[in-house]
Amino acid sequence: MDIFLTYLLVFALGIPLGLYMARVFSNQKTFTDFLAPLEGFYFRLIGVNPLSEMNWKAYGWALIASNFVLGILAMLIFLFQGSLPLNPDGIPNMSWDLALHTTASFLTNTNQQHYSGQAQLSYLSQMVGVTALQFITPAVGLA
């Protein structure tokens, strides 16, 4: 029954979401157009011109810069997890080499683990460090 409901939900949402995406990609009006001023503010804030296209060099540099920032943030979370919130078990900070290996592993989507999950990672490290990288890096690989 669960599988049937899952398929039913996918098929029921597939048509309206597909129509919405078709409208977005063909620059037609959608129900989210009221967010355009917020989007414009955000673009101005980060210095992006939404009318200009990226060539392969600009895309490559953006990819490298975003991965660099993600890696630094993840490594800082691993290095200072003992002082950060969501650590009810009092798990100490990772050593720099283990933090570097863990960050590089999840940043490159190889997901090799040289630590024992819940014994060496706080809840914050698992949620923000590991899970976020496991969600973002495959998307980067597909892009």
Q: How far are the Cα atoms of 12, 72, 85, 116, 136 from residue 66, in angstroms, in the given order?
A: 35, 10, 25, 28, 10
Cβ neighbours of residue 40 closer than 8 Å, sequence gap 6 or more: 50
User: What is the C-alpha to C-alpha distance for residues 82 and 91, in angstroms, rounded to an integer?
Assistant: 6
**pLDDT, mean of each 10-residue run, the chain (143 residues):** 93 94 93 93 91 90 92 96 94 95 91 82 93 89 77
CA distance 17 to 85: 38
The CA-atom distances, in angstroms, between 26 and each of 15, 53, 83 are: 16, 16, 49
Distance CA 15, CA 101 (A): 43
Q: Specify the pTM.
A: 0.71
Helices (DSSP H) in the chain: which residue ranges?
A: 2-25, 36-46, 56-79, 96-107, 117-120, 123-124, 132-142
Neighbours of 24 (CB within 10 A): 11
Residue positions counted in the chain: 143
